[in-house]
Chain A
Amino acid sequence: MAGGFFGLLYEVDLETRDVRRVEVPQEDFRLYFSGSGLAAKLLYEELDASVPPLSEKAPLVVLPGLLTGTPVPTGCRTILAGRSPLTEIWGETTAGGFWGAELRKAGVDGLVLRGKADRPVYLWITSRGVEIRDASHLWGLDTFETDERLRQETDARARVAAIGVAGERQCRMASVIFEGSRSRAAGRCGFGALMGSKNVKAMVVRGQGKVPVHDVEGLRALFKEDIPYIQKFAAGLTQFGTAGGVEAVEAHGDLPIQNWRGGRWAEGATAICAQTNLPKHLERHYACYGCLIRCAKIIRYPGDSGEERVSHQPEYETLAGFGANLLNDDFIAIARANEQCNRYGLDTISTSAAVAFAMECYEKGLLTSKDTDGLDLRWGNVEAILKLVDRIAYGEGIGALLAQGARRAAEQIGPRALEYVVDVKGLDVAFHDPRAFTSMAVSYATAVRGGCHLEGLTYFLGRGIPLEDMGYTEPPDPHSNDGKGKIAFDLQNYMSIYNPLGLCKFLFLGRVGPRMIARWVEKVTGWSMDQEELLRVGERIFNLKRLYNVRLGISRKDDILPPRLLNFPRPDGRAQGVLPHLGKMLHEYYELRGWSEEGIPAAEKLRELELDWALVLMR
Chain B
Amino acid sequence: MRVGKVRVTLHGHLWRYHPERIRTWEEIWPEGKSIASFMRTLGVPAQEVMLYLVNGARKDPDHKPSPGDHVEVLPVIDGG
Instruction: State the A residues within 8 Å of B (CB).
Output: 236-237, 240-252, 254, 266, 273-275, 295, 316, 432, 463-465, 475, 509, 574
Contact = CB atoms under 8 A, between A and B. Distances in A.
B11 interface: yes
B16 to A, nearest CB: 7
Contacts of B50: 463-464, 475
B74 A236 contact: no
B28 interface: no
Contact of B13 (A244, A316, A464, A465): A244
Contacts of B12: 247-252
A266 to B, nearest CB: 7
Q: Interface residues of A: mostly helix, strand, loop or mixed?
A: helix
B80 A251 contact: no
A241 B75 CA distance: 16
A93 to B, nearest CB: 19
B76 A463 contact: yes
Interface in B13-66: 13, 16, 23, 48, 50-51
Contact of B78 (A236, A251, A254): A236
Contact of B74 (A252, A274, A275): A252
B1 interface: no
B79 A465 contact: no
Given A246-B80, A252-B12, 8 more contacts: A237-B78, A243-B79, A245-B79, A248-B12, A249-B12, A251-B12, A274-B79, A316-B80
B79 A463 contact: no
Contacts of A463: 50, 76-77, 80
B74 A241 contact: no
For the complex of A and B, 4 pairs with smallest distance between CB atoms: A245-B79, A245-B80, A236-B78, A251-B11
Nearest to A509: B78
A252 B79 contact: no
B79 A464 contact: no
Given A475-B50, A475-B51, A275 B77 contact: no
A244 B50 CA distance: 16
B10 to A, nearest CB: 9
Nearest to B9: A251
B51 A248 contact: no
Nearest to B23: A266
B80 A275 contact: no
Given A251-B11, A275-B16, A475-B50, A240 B74 contact: no
Interface residues of B, number: 15
A432 to B, nearest CB: 7
Interface of B: 11-13, 16, 23, 48, 50-51, 74-80
Candidate in B16, B76, B80 with the most chain A CB atoms within 10 angstroms: B80
Contacts of A248: 11-13, 74-80
A273 B74 contact: no
A249 B12 CA distance: 7
B23 to A, nearest CB: 7
25 contacts: A236-B79, A237-B78, A240-B78, A241-B79, A243-B79, A246-B79, A246-B80, A247-B75, A251-B11, A251-B12, A251-B74, A251-B75, A252-B12, A252-B74, A252-B77, A254-B80, A266-B11, A295-B79, A316-B79, A316-B80, A464-B50, A464-B51, A475-B50, A475-B51, A509-B78
Contact of A245 (B11, B23, B77): B77
Contact of A275 (B11, B13, B51, B76): B13
Residue from the set A237, A247, A249, A274 with the largest chain B CB neighbour count within 10 Å: A247
B34 to A, nearest CB: 20
Contacts of B11: 248, 251, 266, 574
A465 B76 CA distance: 8
Contacts of A252: 12, 74, 77
A274 to B, nearest CB: 7
Contact of B79 (A244, A250, A251, A574): A244
A234 to B, nearest CB: 8
Nearest to A431: B80
B43 to A, nearest CB: 15
B11 to A, nearest CB: 4
A432 B12 CA distance: 15
Contacts of A236: 48, 78-79
A619 to B, nearest CB: 43
Contacts of A266: 11, 23
Nearest to B58: A477
Contacts of B75: 247-248, 251
A249 B79 CA distance: 9
A299 to B, nearest CB: 15
Contacts of A274: 79
B25 to A, nearest CB: 15
A574 B78 CA distance: 18
**Chain B CB within 10 Å, residue with most, of A243, A245, A246, A465:** A245
B76 A240 contact: no
Contacts of B23: 266
A271 to B, nearest CB: 13
A249 B77 contact: yes
Nearest to B48: A236
Contacts of A245: 77-80
